[in-house]
Amino acid sequence: MTYTMDSLGSERKLLHSLVDFSNKSVLEVGCGEGRLTWQFADKTKYVVAIDPEAEKIAVAKKNSPKDLKNRVEFLEGTLLDYKLKKGLPKFDVVLLSWSLCCMEPEDMLPGLRKCYELLKRDGLLIDIHPFGESDYVEIHFENKIWRAGRTIDKSNYLSYQQADHALENVIEQDVLIPQSECAFPILNTYDSMVEFEDWIAENWNDTSIDSQTRDKARRLAKEIGSESHVVVREKISIASLRPNENYFYRN
3-state secondary structure (DSSP) of residue 93? strand
Q: For position 2, what pLDDT does the model report?
A: 73
| Alpha-carbon span 69 to 88, nearest angstrom | 18
Contacts of 85 (CB under 8 A, 6+ apart): none
3-state secondary structure (DSSP) of residue 220? helix
Going along the chain from its start, the domains and CATH numbers come out as 3-243 (3.40.50.150)
Q: For position 32, what pLDDT does the model report?
A: 96
Which residues are paired to 95 by β-bridges? Answer: 28, 126
Q: For position 243, what pLDDT does the model report?
A: 96
| Alpha-carbon span 117 to 9, nearest angstrom | 31
Upper half-sphere CA count for residue 166 (Cβ side, 13 Å)? 26
Q: For position 104, what pLDDT does the model report?
A: 95
Q: For position 92, what pLDDT does the model report?
A: 98
Closest CA relative to residue 186, chosen from 248, 136, 249, 244: 136
Q: For position 52, what pLDDT does the model report?
A: 97
10-residue mean pLDDT series, the chain (251 residues):
83 95 98 96 97 97 92 97 91 97 96 96 96 91 94 81 95 95 94 89 83 94 91 95 78 34
| Alpha-carbon span 193 to 203, nearest angstrom | 15
